[in-house]
Structure 1
Amino acid sequence: MCLKLVHRIAALGAIMPLALSAQAPAAEKPWDMLAATPEVVSQWQDMRFGMFLCWGPVALTGEEIGWSRGAPRGHGWLRVEGQGKTPVDVYDNLYKKWKPDRFDARQWVQIAKDAGQKYLIFLVKHHDGFCLYDTKLTDYKSTGPEAAWKHDVMADVAKACHEAGLKLIIYYSQPDWRHPDYGTENHHRYIAYLHGQVRELLTNYGRIDGFWFDLGGKPSDWDSVKLFQMMRTLQPWLIINNRCGLPGDFDTPEQRLGAFDLKRPWETCMTLGTQWSWKPNDEIKSLKQCIDVLVTCAGRNGNLALNTNPMPDGQIEPRQAERFREIGAWLKQYGRSIYATRGGPFWGLHSATTRKDNTIYVHVLKWHGEKLLLPPIAKKIVAFSLLTGGTATVRQSAEQIEISVPREHRRELDTIVELELDGPASDLAPAQIISDSLTFGKKATASSVYPDPVGRQYLPAFAVDGDPESGWTFAPDIKSAWLEIDLGKPCTFDTAEIHERYDRIRGFRLQAKQGDGWVTLCQGPRIGEHYSASFPPITAQFVRLEVLDTTINPLVAELHVYRSQ
């Protein structure tokens, strides 16, 4: 996987019927094969949840795949600066002693099925160039003459997926930092190599449902138009992501949540632990964190591809397998609120909604106060129930929808209220949840930001985007700075939550602007991961967090204030 930010590419317009004169019959524009058909995209969205699986000889080191290789990352104009800490002569020869004696593709697929995942994204080649299939175009592969194992992993994975009815998507990194022609004056030979390998994968392993490229680039870097057309000539049903120089069919926010978007399909790719390939004693996400991410993706109209990384012997680590099974157990009960739904109509920070037919599913991941307040809708709620068990109260008026659930019936993972309408939920316009954070998605500015290019990953807006994995930080050579949020209009609030990863702040105050001055709402020596404060209700349009002192530049992941109820 690319651990850098991937620039979002503008969406490719859907293919529309060609308008002819009123006297002539309408004719469809020929399919250029650069985008999947709407039916293919819709079927992919229906699945909502997939497994990403990254594996290779690098598992022997416990370091990150590709990026830990101690050599320049490519050549010529395609070279990426930096190199990893594993010496290249060690990294490139790991396959000569890698012999996974407990590999079982059926076990991998069964874990995905147990997790409720509908597709598997299997890595066959990363930026390091090593191939986990029997390519005829290089000996640097799991079946190569010097490989200790001599096994076609892709063949086993494809067979297991096809037997189990699990959709199979191939991850293939078109960059290859080891290939001698890559990025050089002989790059045309590398393009031929790339196209040849993609052709092998789409010819020799049965039905493939999608292709997942990486690192982006320009269409000319990979001859992408010709590549896509060749791919869909072989397998017309392919769905392809946005990282091969063309818009493709969906965006791929990495290690972060995508934004609410009803127009452009997207998929968050995220690790269960802290890196893509296996790491011993890695910290993995809790079940609560996994459900939060899955529900938020569905509520924002996106998919989730959650990564696992088998150990050197080929087995998925038992605690990771158990986490996936726990997710699957939850989906067995509540999957109807996730699968084949679309996001909205309401969106928010710790609450989300999904919809299907005449039903809206309201997911409350964290309660703020005693009631959840939703915007009004033109349709009538004719029935409601608490899908997660217990009782709820729902009151609909011309001003809002008010939902209350007794504390004893609220669920730690997700409280789901099912609303049945007197008509389709699909035509309701999206709107933000009324009782949501007042700072969520609002304009944020700061007195200092981290210098570019790294600073693009730590902008002020990331402190109010609802994603705890992102955040704002400032220049490393200063000890104090401020972050200011414009609520858009005067609002009354009495509660604040701040999440500061790594616990670096050693003095802060939260303020609201009153007239020409600032009033302090709360202050203290530290913030840490989970800070919350209540204060007398105050009405203001601008909120400011002032960092007074810090060990080194901190990461303010989220800053939210909530209206008085």
Structure 2
Amino acid sequence: MNARRYWLDKLVFYVFFVLIGCMSANAQLPSTTSTQQLGADIKTSKAVMDDFMDKRFGMFIHWGPVTLRGTEIGWSRGNEVKTEDYDNLYKEFNPILFDADAWVKTAKDAGMKYITITAKHHDGFCLWPTAFSDYNIMNSPFKKDIVGELAKACKKYDIKFCIYFTVLDWHDKNYPLHDRAKKIDPNANMDKFRQTMKNELKELVVNYDPYMLWFDGMWEDAWTNEMGVDIYQYLKSIKKDLIINNRLGKEISGIGDNTVDHSKMVGDFDTPEQRIGNIEMNFPWESCITICNQWAWKSNDKMKTLKECIQTLAKTAGGNGNLLFNVGPMADGRIEARQIERLKEMGVWLGKYGTSIYGTKGGPYKPNSTYATTRKGNVIYLHIFERNADKLILPVLADAKIKSAKFMNGDVVSFAQNKDFGVLINLPKVLPDAINSVIVLELDKNAEKLPIINN
């Protein structure tokens, strides 16, 4: 983009969005607004959420100038990387090998159905040419709209495009905290910060039409639950069925395995982090998990085995959740070849067994280290991870009988069923898939209506 044209466009955008922002400021929710007031007229429709949950598998991408140091995005600012150094890395950031088509094609080949890019992480750097901050990709040597190019590539490959956006911003002088030291800046202005946030979000929604927004960074005291409700309502006024995760508010399961109150969540789905969520049939959830250890790229970072990847996906689907699987591209713009290869291997497995993942419900059995189950119509898909004996015994199926059993794309499996001992599956000496063999159990009734069985 021509530099003169860029700054002219920036000025036009700024004037337009400030005017819109001033108009919208009068429509903010009062501070007493509760999450429960977000009724059916505001919340994302069930049909849209069902479509999202049917997808089961997406790609998370954490990327920015910090890849020049190989440390964690956001969190290494002021720690492994001095703040001044971190905040100036964008001046060196020139990922000349970035290819949006290649990234999206990698996701497509992996069997992924959507992509979520960190358009703005806690360090405040924006991967799109925003009119509301100079700390953006157009002021790097690269000068290309990363968010825009990915949105375009996603349309080409029929992948849903989603955007990650942080609530906190340690770089913005109007945000009260500029690092993790919890020292409040007396010159900060949270009202101005929230208006900038609305302006940037409006840019993203209007210009790129994301399928979903994935928020993060709501844990600091400067951000309140009421602010989250306000932003949720504001976004819904722009795009009614925009899917929004629950990290605008304070009620999330997150990293811990804590009990949460779904009625208090500000958003449409829960987001357990770096762990597989607990089985939950009544509220949507998505686990975000890294393919390596670090979210952003790190040299020689330990990568998960194919067994870990496939079984993580199956256990997540078995608990009725989606898996948002993270990759961290390198500083030159490429996803590592080893990560691409691992994702392609997952795609090969899904090419054979995807019917047992996409569009299914979790259960009726809770996932464990030996097996997980998914279900669709009158079928239960039994995912077997380990062969510990000649026979696999499952708990009793309530008021349902198995009519037939066979390996997906393979041989018939003999079984026995009894209301006392449950279901006995006879296993061959060698399972057809060493990582996850899928047995199709056809029932005499709708498997989706069965209650969750404690196993």
Query: Same-fold call, TM > 0.5?
Result: yes
Match of 2:246 in 1: 242
2 CA distance for matches of 1:374 and 1:12?
41
Give the residue type in structure 1 aligned to 2:394: L
Which residue pairs with 2:212 in the alignment? Answer: 210
Q: Is the 8 A contact 2:56 2:358 kept in 1?
A: yes
User: Which of 388, 391, 394 is the equivalent residue of 1:368?
Assistant: 388
Q: Does structure 1 residue 325 correspond to structure 2 residue 333? A: no
Aligned partner (choices 204, 220, 227) of residue 201 of structure 1: 204
> Size of the alignment, in residue pairs?
392
Distance 2:37 2:321 in 1: 18
For residue 417 of structure 1, give the secondary structure of its aligned residue in structure 2.
strand
Give 1:170 shift: 0.5
Structure 1 residue 370: deviation in Å?
A: 2.4
SS in 2 for 1:288: helix
1:356 — aligned with what? 376
Give the Å deviation of 1:263.
Answer: 1.5
Is residue 258 from structure 1 mapped to residue 258 from structure 2 by the alignment? no
For 1:223, what is the secondary structure of its paired residue? helix
Q: 2:277 is aligned with what amino acid?
A: G
- Contact 2:314–2:372 (CA<8 Å) still a contact in 1? yes
Aligned residue number for residue 60 of structure 1: 68
Which whole-Å CA distance do the structure 2 matches of 1:283 and 1:30 have between them?
44
CA contact (8 A) 1:216 1:242 kept: no
- 3-state SS, counterpart of residue 359 of structure 2: coil
Query: Is the 1:222–1:244 contact (alpha carbons within 8 Å) kept by the matching residues of 2?
Result: no
2:320 touches 2:361 (CA, 8 Å); kept in 1? Answer: yes
> What is aligned with 1:110?
105
User: What do the CA deviations read for 1:324-361 (whole angstroms, capped 9, x no partner)?
Assistant: 10000100100000000000011141211000011000
Query: CA–CA distance in 1 between the matches of 2:365 and 2:271?
Result: 23
What's 2:231 paired with? 227
Aligned-partner SS, 2:325: strand
Within-5 A mapping of 1:441-452: none
Higher strand proportion, which one? 1
Q: Which has the higher contact order (CA 8 A, sep 6+)?
A: 2
State the one-letter code of the partner of 2:425: I
8 Å contact kept, 2:216–2:247: yes
Q: Name the SS of the counterpart of 2:95 in structure 1.
A: coil
How high is the TM-score relative to the length of structure 2? 0.83
CA contact under 8 A between 1:388 and 1:415: conserved in structure 2?
Answer: no
The answer to whether the 8 Å contact 2:122/2:217 transfers is no
Q: What are the ranges of 5 or more consecutive residues in structure 2 without an aligned counterpart?
A: 1-33, 177-184, 250-264
- Does residue 1:414 correspond to 2:409, yes or no? no
Please say if residues 229 and 248 of structure 2, whose CA atoms lie closer than 8 Å, have aligned partners that are also in contact: no
Secondary structure class of the residue paired with 2:430: helix
d(CA) in 1 for partners of 2:230, 2:36: 19
- 2:232, 2:248 within 8 Å by CA — same for their partners in 1? no
Aligned 8 A contact 1:267 1:302 in 2: yes
Provide the rounded CA distance (Å) in 2 between the counterparts of 1:267 and 1:104: 27
In structure 2, the partner of 1:427 is: 449
1:407 alignment partner, SS class: coil
Identity among equivalent pairs (%): 41
Q: 2:121 matched to which residue of 1? A: 126
Residues 232 and 267 in structure 2, CA contact (< 8 A), matched pair in contact too: no
Aligned counterpart, 1:37: 45
Contact 1:391 1:405 in 2 (8 A): no
Equivalent of 1:288, from 301, 307, 331?
A: 307
Aligned mates of 1:303, 1:265 — CA distance in 2: 8
The 8 Å contact of residues 54 and 277 in structure 1, kept in 2 or not, is answered as yes
3-state DSSP class of the match of 1:259?
coil
Deviation at 1:85, TM superposition (A): 1.6
- What residue in structure 2 maps to residue 462 of structure 1? none
Code of the aligned partner of 2:231: L
Q: Is the 8 A contact 1:354 1:360 kept in 2?
A: yes
- Aligned runs of 1:272-287 on 2, under 5 Å? 272-287=291-306
CA deviations on 1:408-431 (whole Å, 9 max, x unpaired) are 235321121101111111111111
Q: Is the contact made by 2:403 and 2:442 (CA closer than 8 Å) also made in structure 1?
A: yes
When structure 1 is superposed on structure 2, of 266-275 and 214-223 the one drifting more is: 214-223
One-letter identity of the residue aligned with 1:233:
S
| Equivalent residue for 2:155, pick from 136, 155, 162 | 162
User: How far has the Cα of 1:398 moved from its partner?
Assistant: 1.7
Once the two structures are overlaid, the 10-residue window that deviates more, 227-236 or 90-99, is: 227-236
Partner of 1:149: 142
Secondary structure class of the residue paired with 1:124 = strand
CA distance in 1, matches of 2:155, 2:241: 16
Task: Compute the TM-score of the two structures, normalised by the length of structure 1.
Answer: 0.67
Secondary structure in 2 matching 1:293: helix
Provide the C-alpha distance between the structure 2 equivalents of 1:57 and 1:90, rounded to a whole number of angstroms: 11
Q: Distance in 1 between the 2:82 and 2:424 partners? A: 60
Task: Establish whether residue 192 from structure 1 lines up as the match of residue 195 from structure 2.
Answer: yes
CA shift in 2, pair 1:198/1:387, >3 Å: same
Q: Aligned pair in 2 of structure 1 residues 65, 346: CA closer, same or farther (>3 Å)? A: same
What stretches of structure 1 of length at least 5 have no aligned partner?
1-10, 16-28, 71-83, 434-565
SS at match of 1:86: coil
Instruction: Report what 1:393 is aligned to.
Output: 414
Q: Flag the 1:99–1:170 CA change in 2: closer, same or farther, 3 A.
A: same
Shift of 1:224: 2.3
Change (3 A) 1:179 1:289: same
Matched, 1:311 2:330: yes
Between the aligned partners of 1:336 and 1:411, the Cα distance in structure 2 is 16
Q: For the residues of structure 2 that align with 1:257 and 1:390, how far apart are their CA atoms?
A: 31
Q: Distance in 2 between matches of 1:259 and 1:220?
A: 27
Q: Deviations over 1:265-315 (max 9, x none)?
A: 111101101101000111101110000100000001110000011111101
Offset at residue 391 of structure 1 (A):
4.4
Q: Is the 8 A contact 2:405 2:412 kept in 1?
A: no
Larger radius of gyration: 1
Is 2:95 aligned against 1:100? yes
* Counterpart amino acid of residue 340 in structure 1: G
Report which of the two has the higher share of helix.
2
Contact 1:391 1:406 in 2 (8 A): no
Identify which of 402, 417, 421 aligns with 1:381.
Answer: 402
Q: How far, CA to CA, are the matches of 2:36 and 2:46 in structure 1?
A: 11
Alpha-carbon shift at residue 389 of structure 1 (Å): 3.1
Q: Deviations over 1:338-396 (max 9, x none)?
A: 00000001114121100001100011112333222122221221222111634422111
